[in-house]
């Protein structure tokens, strides 16, 4: 099988637990690009939060793509051209944000370089020994400036690519279906981490976004190897000719994968690329 594209989730996959790309993984990906293989970053992160990794892997010089917001947007790193963009309808986004007021969760939305929340000092209690400042965590990984608004629903008078819903993992597991149920005909909802439930437009997935752009570059699904660890990676694991689960992946991803590699802290990507590029 000829591999023409490598598709990588970021958090829990490409990035170690320290949020870095290991030297061995970077070397393997740079070597693949030298051989003409396209590298695509595919994350729930907003586009802004993916550029640092894209620059480190020199995707701009190698015709790589950034697939952000769980597949709601695709950007060509070489030209900065947005190849695909499917945000939510404004009214749907506002209805969701109003609905979320009924739950003990922290909604976050993005506009340009800012992350908008109700209260920048809101924490998730009981998840770690110290209260978890999830807003700072998200702002840091996305390189966002923080801004408070009293009513997110009123503020969001523009199409949203994603609403990020943060909360205690046990509570989110309990209520996520109730959160999503009123919007199941107009939206998509997936977990990207135990404390993150993410809402996007209907039929948004990493695989659908991939398929919309790869065909124009003469790359079929059978020529793709994909790596992931969480529920929002399931579509690319199913889509790819070779779907690889990280050793730290949830059981659903391991069961769906063609191969389970080592964890993100054990150079699992480099190990799998060595196996399948022989």
> Residue 277's pLDDT is what?
85
- State whether residue 241 is helix, strand or coil: coil
The mean per-residue pLDDT over the stretch 212-237 comes to: 95
Write the CA distances from 29 to 2, 32, 254, integer angstroms.
16, 5, 22
Confidence check: pLDDT of 32 > 90: yes
Compute the chain's Rg from CA coordinates: 18
Using pLDDT thresholds of 50, 70 and 90, give the confidence band for residue 124: confident
* Residue 133: partners with Cβ closer than 8 Å, 6 or more residues away: 123
pLDDT at 198: 97
Confidence class of residue 127 from pLDDT cuts 50, 70 and 90?
Answer: confident
Please report the pLDDT score of residue 123 as a whole number. Answer: 85
CA angle 61, 66, 71 (to 5 degrees): 160
Q: Give the pLDDT of residue 278.
A: 61
- Residues of the chain with pLDDT > 70, as a percent, come to 99
Rounded Cα distance between 257 and 43, Å, is 18
Domains of the chain (ranges, CATH numbers)? 5-85+204-276 (3.40.50.1000), 90-201 (3.30.1240.10)
* DSSP annotation string for 41-109: EE-SS-GGGGHHHHHHTTGGGGT-EEEEGGGTEEEETTT--EEEE----HHHHHHHHHHGGGSS-EEEE
| pLDDT over 70 at 254, yes or no | yes
Average pLDDT over residues 62-70: 97
User: Do 230 and 247 contact (CB within 8 A), yes or no?
Assistant: no
Give the residues across from 39 on adjacent strands: 6
**Alpha-carbon distances of 10 from 17, 68, 88, 94, rounded to whole Å:** 11, 10, 23, 29
How does pLDDT run across 256-269, given as a tens digit for each residue?
Answer: 999 999 999 999 99
- Mean pLDDT on 195-208: 97
**Mean residue pLDDT across the chain:** 96
Nearest to 244 by CA among 259, 254, 230: 259
Is 110 in contact with 161 (CB distance < 8 Å)? yes
126 — pLDDT class (breaks 50, 70, 90): confident
Alpha carbon distance 114, 142 (integer Å) = 9
């Amino acid at each position: 099988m000829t591999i023409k594209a490598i598709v990588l989730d970021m958090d829990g996959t490409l990035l170690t637990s320290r949020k870095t790309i290991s030297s061995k993984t970077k070397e393997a990906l740079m070597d693949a690009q030298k051989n003409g293989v396209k590298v695509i970053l595919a994350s729930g992160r907003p586009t802004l939060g993916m550029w640092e990794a894209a620059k480190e892997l020199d995707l701009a010089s190698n015709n790589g793509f950034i697939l952000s917001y769980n597949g709601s947007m695709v950007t060509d790193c070489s030209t900065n051209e947005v190849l695909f963009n499917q945000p939510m309808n404004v009214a749907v986004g506002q209805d969701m944000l109003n609905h979320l007021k009924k739950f003990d969760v922290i909604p976050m939305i993005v506009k340009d370089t800012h992350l908008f929340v109700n209260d920048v000092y809101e924490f998730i209690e009981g998840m770690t020994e110290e209260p978890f400042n999830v807003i700072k965590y998200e702002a840091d990984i996305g390189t966002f400036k923080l801004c408070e608004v009293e009513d997110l629903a009123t503020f969001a008078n523009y199409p949203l690519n994603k609403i990020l819903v943060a909360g205690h993992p046990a509570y989110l597991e309990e209520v996520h279906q109730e959160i999503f149920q009123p919007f199941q005909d107009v939206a998509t909802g997936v977990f990207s981490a135990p404390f993150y439930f993410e809402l996007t437009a209907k039929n948004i997935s990493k695989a659908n976004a991939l398929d919309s752009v790869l065909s124009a570059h003469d790359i079929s699904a059978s020529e793709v190897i994909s790596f992931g660890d969480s529920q929002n990676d399931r579509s690319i694991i199913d889509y790819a000719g070779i779907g690889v689960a990280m050793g730290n992946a949830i059981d659903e991803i391991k069961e769906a994968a063609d191969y389970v590699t080592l964890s993100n802290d054990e150079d699992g990507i480099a190990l799998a690329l060595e196996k399948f590029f022989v």
